[in-house]
Homo-oligomer: A and B are copies of this chain.
Amino acid sequence: MDQGQGALTQLRAYLAQRDLPANTRLPPERELCDILGVSRGELRKALAVMESNGELWRHVGKGTFIGTRPAKEYSDVAGIAALTSPREVMQARLLIEPQIAREAALNATAGDIAELRQCMQASRQAQTWRQYENCDNRLHRTVAEAAHNTVLLALFDTLNAVRRAVVWGRLRDKVDRPPKDHHSFKEHELLVKAIEERDMDGASQAMLRHLSQVQANLLAARQAAE
A interface, CB within 8 angstroms of B? 21-23, 54, 68, 70-77, 80, 83-84, 88-89, 91-92, 95-96, 99-100, 102-103, 130-131, 134, 149-155, 157-162, 164, 168-169
Contact = CB atoms under 8 A, between A and B. Distances in A.
A185 to B, nearest CB: 20
Q: How many copies of this chain sit in the oligomeric assembly?
A: 2
A28 to B, nearest CB: 23
Contacts of A130: 54, 68
B73 A161 contact: yes
Given A100-B95, A102-B95, A169-B21, A151 B71 contact: no
Contact of A161 (B68, B75, B152, B160): B75
Contact of A80 (B54, B134, B154): B154
